[in-house]
Amino acid sequence: MNVLQIEGGFRLRGEIEVSGSKNIALALLSAVALCEEPVTLRNVPRISDTHMKAHLLEEFGAKVEWDGNNLTVDCSGLKMGYPSEESVRAIRTSFYMLGPLLARLGEVELPAPGGCKIGARPVDYHVRGLQLMGAEVELSGGRYFARATKIKGADIYLDFPSAGATQHLMSTAVLAEGVTTIQNAAMEPEVVALADFLRAMGAKIEGAGTATITIFGGANLRGTSFRVPADRIQVGTFLLAGAITHGDVTVLGIMPEDQTAVVNKLREAGALVEETSETVRVKVDNRLEAIRIRTMPHPGFPTDIQQPMAAMLTLANGTSVIEETIYESRSGHIPELVRMGANIQSEGRTSIIQGVKRLHGSNVVASDLRAGAALCLAGLAADGVTTVENVHYIDRGYEAIEHSLSALGGKVKRVAVEPRKVR
């Protein structure tokens, strides 16, 4: 097995460009099934999640071809597929292909997506939305069976602005007969990027990025080439890596308006943050101050940055409070940070972090993707060597994170070890 070995205590400095967004690429890799002509996605991150999702498309008859970070998908020969439970459980957004596949094939069967280590993550909004659009959807023996002679436009209200349900239903509605509105829609940049992609294929969509999205169905979609925008969660992660190490890091080629919540909180904690139209720079000279964070749907503070932010706040002066409102239990990083010397108390979904002066290198285990990123950040700032296990979680969202952090002056390497030698 591989671990990341991090020698802490080096300030990160320099410029970095992040890869294309994981969550946008995954949404596009569901929507490509709508189109009968080949589609090329550019700047696709070469991470395990995008590879697995591309394989899944192949199980439904798609032809898939990688050329570096460009991925061409030809869904002209789409047919019924019977993917294994593991392949759908491995990436939750596989389930979000149900609507587009149904719109193309009239019938589809997919295993129920699994829960993961950040909470229950049901799919009821997805199912209800598809039913409103005329689909019959049944869960039986751990598999969803969906059938529709015709997908029709519908007025859909989401109880919560779910990013996934908004993306799934918006995509499906493109091939529906008539107009669909999604109220209380998610406003995440990933939704806006997906709408841009669907429009590039010929769809007519208004309001993406607001709480009401209108999709005028029945478009004749055509093939297109689309560049996946930069990964805003990676941007936040590298800014925090700069901040936790008292470094000076500039992230290039991004949309700073997607970073407003993170940038504001970094400034509140005492970091110097400079923005241009395509870059954000963070510089920290003195010990950071404690702050309060509450995760919220966009444009609120992103839940995906909550865990790396917790790592940074373990070393801030005073008592920080983090309230996670999106997921039931996105807290797998806490016991590991405590092993490294952090002082954190959990009360339900709230963490109270009493800043300490030092973290100590330890053997720690990533429980999920962003917990893994948080532990890498803590390791960069800790005394001594930190070993992070379960690197496969980190690989789901960061293309070779050790290279990115090393390019900024961190001492991070991937090392193969015998499983029994680590906790």
Q: Hey, which bits of 228-308 come out as E strands? A: 248-252, 272-275, 280-283, 292-294
Helix residue ranges per DSSP H, 91-226: 98-105, 124-132, 163-173, 189-200
Question: 52: closest CA among 87, 96, 86?
Answer: 87
Instruction: Compute the distance between CA of residue 269 and CA of residue 261 in angstroms, rounded to an integer.
Output: 12
Q: Are 251 and 232 in contact (CB under 8 A)?
A: no
Structure tokens at 116: 């993961």
Nearer to ligand EPU, 22 or 281 (CB): 22
* DSSP code at position 290: P
Point out the catalytic residue in the list 35, 75, 116, 376.
116
Structure tokens at 265: 């909180």
C-alpha distances (whole Å) from 416 to each of 75, 243, 288, 305, 419 are: 38, 29, 35, 28, 9
Nearer to ligand EPU, 308 or 361 (CB): 308
Nearer to ligand EPU, 366 or 382 (CB): 366
Structure tokens at 148: 């529709």
Give the binding site for ligand EPU (CB under 6 A): 23, 26, 92-93, 119-126, 160, 162-165, 186, 188, 190, 233, 303-304, 326-327, 369-370, 397
Task: Quote the least distance from Cβ 306 to ligand EPU, whole Å.
Answer: 9
Burial 130-169 (b: 16+ CB within 10 A, else e): bebbbbebeeeeeebebebeebbbbebebeebbbbbbbbb
CA atoms within 13 A on the CB side of 237: 32
Nearer to ligand EPU, 78 or 90 (CB): 90
Specify the amino acid at residue 8.
Answer: G
Q: What is the dihedral of CA 298, 405, 283, 343, to 10 degrees?
A: 70
Can you tell me whether residue 280 is helix, strand or coil?
strand
Nearer to ligand EPU, 123 or 322 (CB): 123
Instruction: Compute the distance between CA of residue 413 and CA of residue 406 in angstroms, rounded to an integer.
Output: 8
Instruction: Compute the distance between CA of residue 142 and CA of residue 270 in angstroms, rounded to an integer.
Output: 49
Task: Quote the least distance from Cβ 337 to ligand EPU, whole Å.
Answer: 18
Nearer to ligand EPU, 8 or 111 (CB): 111
Decide if 75 is catalytic: no
Task: Quote the least distance from Cβ 284 to ligand EPU, whole Å.
Answer: 25
Task: Quote the least distance from Cβ 297 to ligand EPU, whole Å.
Answer: 7
Instruction: Compute the distance between CA of residue 331 and CA of residue 239 in angstroms, rounded to an integer.
Output: 21
Instruction: Compute the distance between CA of residue 105 and CA of residue 93 in angstroms, rounded to an integer.
Output: 19
Which residue's Cβ lies closest to ligand EPU? 164
Specify the amino acid at residue 395.
Answer: D
Nearer to ligand EPU, 81 or 189 (CB): 189
Task: Quote the least distance from Cβ 326 to ligand EPU, whole Å.
Answer: 5
Task: Quote the least distance from Cβ 385 to ligand EPU, whole Å.
Answer: 26
Sign, Cα dihedral of 83, 130, 22, 316: negative
Task: Quote the least distance from Cβ 119 to ligand EPU, whole Å.
Answer: 6
Task: Quote the least distance from Cβ 194 to ligand EPU, whole Å.
Answer: 10
Instruction: Compute the distance between CA of residue 338 and CA of residue 142 in angstroms, rounded to an integer.
Output: 37
Nearer to ligand EPU, 50 or 69 (CB): 50
Q: Which residues are catalytic?
A: 116
